[in-house]
Amino acid sequence: MWAQDETRIGLKTLLGRRLTAAAVKPIAMVQWPRQAIWLYGIVAPATGDSFFFEYSHLDSICFEHFLQMVAAQFPQFLNVIQVDGAPAHIAQAIQIPDNIVLLFQPPHSPELNPIERLWLDLKIDLRGANFANLDQLRLAVREILSYMTPEWIASMTQYPYIMNALSDALII
């Protein structure tokens, strides 16, 4: 069982809170370019396994390619993948590989998707950082992903309702 989503990561500086002395306004360099990459990913809450791939944009063609890559990466399994109802996920033209089943979560409920916590943590690590170009940003993202061990990913994504459902499914 996998949880899947995409996130946009760009050169525009991500802002967040900073610690300062009382009544001192934090000062940070901010840049505004609109160049970005899309990181597609899946995580397995039960094991912490993961798979990520970068695309230039979000659409059904990229999503279909990502599904084909997942199917090839994990050919020995029937991969049940939790997805949201994004237009790229529900396009009629998508050819879903035979070893993949899409499980759609309810509309307007990103909090139900465990990979959202991983994206949040990834972006916290990028907060306040400025990159000269997309290549530097890609390197920073790859470095952050390299530190995300399966144990850490499992600890971030093992929502009790998912683990209960998986344990019930294995008993039957």
User: Mean pLDDT, to the nearest integer, of 24-53?
Assistant: 88
DSSP letter string, 30-82:
------EEEEEEEE-TTT--EEEEEESS-SHHHHHHHHHHHHHHSTTS-EEEE
Q: CA 92 to CA 83: how far, in whole Å?
A: 15
Q: How confident is the model at residue 98 (pLDDT cuts 50, 70, 90)?
A: very high
Report pLDDT digits (tens) over 50-82. Answer: 999 999 999 999 999 999 999 999 999 999 999
Q: HSE on the CB side for 79, CA within 13 Å?
A: 26
Report pLDDT digits (tens) over 133-169. Answer: 999 999 999 999 999 999 999 999 987 777 777 666 6
pLDDT value of residue 20:
78
Residue 100: both structure tokens together: 């993949």
Question: The whole model's pTM is what?
Answer: 0.85
What Cα–Cα distance (Å) separates residue 95 from each residue in 38, 78, 121?
21, 16, 32
Q: How confident is the model at residue 25 (pLDDT cuts 50, 70, 90)?
A: confident
Q: Are strands 79-83 and 100-104 parallel, antiparallel or unpaired?
A: parallel
Domain 2-15+29-166 has CATH 1.10.10.10: no
Return the HEC string of 83-148: ECCCHHHHCCCCCCCCCEEEEECCCCCHHHCCHHHHHHHHHHHHCCCCCCCHHHHHHHHHHHHHHC
